[in-house]
Amino acid sequence: MSNLASDEDRPTGILDDREDHSPGDEPLEDTGHWVRNANLGLTLSILLTVGAFLLAGTNIIYGPSVPIALIVLAIAQMGVHLVFFLHITTGPDNTNNVLALAFGVLVVFLIVIGSIWIMDHLMQNMSPTRMEDMMQMQP
């Protein structure tokens, strides 16, 4: 077993395979690394936002495909925010974060699809679809 006080060839606080540490322990990174990542995320977010406004306001792409392009840019924007600002990664120490995110997406999906389904059935059951049905409803 290594005695850190007697190891003079490496400074203490740097983790390597000779030390016993938990999966959440990571070596300290300098401030420049965090600033670079935050600036990269900000730049990507700004580019995606400007791109969405350009697609919606100009005729760069074929008109009926604009909603699909905006959806793609929105998904990319969510990915940038998750990775660069919320620091959601697939590392072993972020398993709970990924599971919480997946559960949140599932709940939102169920609420949106369930609401659309309920509203569709209400429309089918409440409104007459044919003129003959409307005539029979009148006294």
Q: What is the CA radius of gyration of the chain?
A: 27
> Nearest Cα to 96, choosing from 24, 34, 15?
24
Is pTM beyond 0.75? Reply is no
- CA 139 to CA 136: how far, in whole Å? 8
Measured on CA atoms in the order 39, 42, 47, 50, is the torsion positive or negative?
negative
Q: By mean pLDDT, which of 20-24, 38-42, 97-101, 127-131 is the weakest?
A: 20-24
Strands (E), the chain: none
Residue with tokens 């540490």: 21
18 — pLDDT class (breaks 50, 70, 90): low
Q: Tokens in use for 120?
A: 């569709």
